[in-house]
Structure 1
Amino acid sequence: MANLATMLDVDRFPTIFDRLTSHLPIKDIVALTRTCRKLKLLYQKMVNRGAWDIDSRLRKFVKDPLGFRERLTELEGIISGSFALQFVDRVDWEGSDLDVCVQLGEKADAFCRYIEEVEGYDLASRTVAKYAWTHVDMVHAYDKVVDGEFIRLEIILTHNHPIHATLSTYTTALVNVITGNHAYCVFPNATFMKRQTYPTRIPDYFNGVILTQKYKDRGWGFIQRIPKQKWVTGELDLGCRWIGDKHTWKMALSPMSDEAADSAEGAVQGLKFEMKKCQDHYDGVELEWLGVAAKQGH
Structure 2
Amino acid sequence: MGGVNTRAETVESVFTRAPVFDNILSRLSPVALIRLGQCSRTTLGAVANFANRAFNINKHISRFFPDPITFRSLQARTATLISGPSALQFLDRTFYPESDLDLYTPNKHGYEVGLWLKQDGYVFVPNSFQDEDFDMSFGGVMGANFVGEVTDDLDLNHLQQYGIKGVNGIYCFEKASQDGTEPPLRVQIITASTTPLECILNFHSTVVMNAIAYDAAYSFYPISTFEEHRALTVGEVTERQAIALAKYTIRGWRIQANLHPFEKRSCAAPFYPTLVRWVGDRETWTLALDITGIERRSPVSASSESFTWDPVAHNSWILNVVAETHMSYYSTKSSILHYQYLVAEQPLLDQLIEFFVAQGKLEHLKAPSRERMSSAAWRQQFSWWDAEIPRFCALYRANAEKC
User: TM range, normalised to the smaller chain?
Assistant: 0.7 to 0.9
Q: Find the aligned partners of 1:39 and 1:211 in 2 and give their Cα distance.
A: 39
- Per-residue CA deviations over 1:71-120 (Å, capped at 9, x if unaligned) read 11101111111100100011111210100011113x21111000001x10
- 8 A contact 1:97–1:151 mirrored in 2: yes
Task: Quote the residue 1:246 is aligned against.
Answer: 282
Q: In the alignment, does 2:25 pair up with 1:21?
A: yes
More relative contact order, 1 or 2 (CA 8 Å, 6+ apart): 1
Q: CA deviation at 1:34?
A: 5.8
- Per-residue CA deviations over 1:139-183 (Å, capped at 9, x if unaligned) read 101011121122100000111111111111111011111100100
Q: Find the aligned partners of 1:231 and 1:136 in 2 and give their Cα distance.
A: 29
Relative to structure 1, the CA distance from residue 73 to residue 264 in structure 2 (aligned partners, 3 Å threshold; closer, same or farther) is: farther
Identity %: 23
Q: Find the aligned partners of 1:294 and 1:83 in 2 and give their Cα distance.
A: 26
How many residues align structurally? 282
Match of 1:140 among 166, 171, 180: 171
Task: Quote the residue 1:224 is aligned against.
Answer: 257
Task: Quote the residue 1:283 is aligned against.
Answer: none
Relative to structure 1, the CA distance from residue 70 to residue 37 in structure 2 (aligned partners, 3 Å threshold; closer, same or farther) is: closer
Match of 2:296 among 243, 254, 260: 260
Q: In the alignment, does 2:275 pair up with 1:271?
A: no
- 8 A contact 2:266–2:273 mirrored in 1: no
Q: CA deviation at 1:16?
A: 2.2
- 8 A contact 2:273–2:321 mirrored in 1: no
- Structure 2: which amino acid aligns with 1:265? W
Q: CA deviation at 1:129?
A: 2.9
Of the structure 1 ranges 260-269 and 32-41, higher mean CA displacement relative to structure 2 is found in 32-41
**What are structure 2's unaligned runs of at least 5 residues?**
1-6, 130-141, 145-161, 298-305, 333-340, 342-403
Q: CA deviation at 1:233?
A: 1.4
Could you tell me the TM-score, scaled by structure 2's length? 0.64
Task: Quote the residue 1:292 is aligned against.
Answer: 327
Task: Quote the residue 1:46 is aligned against.
Answer: 50
Match of 2:233 among 199, 206, 213: 199
- Higher normalized strand content (fraction of residues): 1
Q: CA deviation at 1:265?
A: 2.1
Task: Quote the residue 2:133 is aligned against.
Answer: none
- 8 A contact 2:266–2:272 mirrored in 1: no
- Higher normalized helix content (fraction of residues): 2
Q: Find the aligned partners of 2:45 and 2:204 in 1 and give their Cα distance.
A: 35
Could you tell me the TM-score, scaled by structure 1's length? 0.85
**What are structure 1's unaligned runs of at least 5 residues?**
280-287
Q: CA deviation at 1:259?
A: 5.4
Q: CA deviation at 1:211?
A: 1.8
- Structure 2: which amino acid aligns with 1:221? R
Match of 2:14 among 7, 10, 26: 7
Task: Quote the residue 2:383 is aligned against.
Answer: none
- Per-residue CA deviations over 1:246-297 (Å, capped at 9, x if unaligned) read 1011111122347528746232113111210142xxxxxxxx53x1245312
Task: Quote the residue 1:174 is aligned against.
Answer: 208
Q: Find the aligned partners of 2:164 and 2:88 in 1 and give their Cα distance.
A: 22
Please, what is the CA RMSD of the aligned residues? 2.5
Of the structure 1 ranges 164-173 and 218-227, higher mean CA displacement relative to structure 2 is found in 218-227
Q: Find the aligned partners of 2:273 and 2:47 in 1 and give their Cα distance.
A: 26
- Per-residue CA deviations over 1:112-145 (Å, capped at 9, x if unaligned) read 000001x100011256435565211211010111
Relative to structure 1, the CA distance from residue 294 to residue 143 in structure 2 (aligned partners, 3 Å threshold; closer, same or farther) is: farther
Q: Find the aligned partners of 1:175 and 1:142 in 2 and give their Cα distance.
A: 23
- Structure 1: which amino acid aligns with 2:63? K
Relative to structure 1, the CA distance from residue 17 to residue 90 in structure 2 (aligned partners, 3 Å threshold; closer, same or farther) is: same
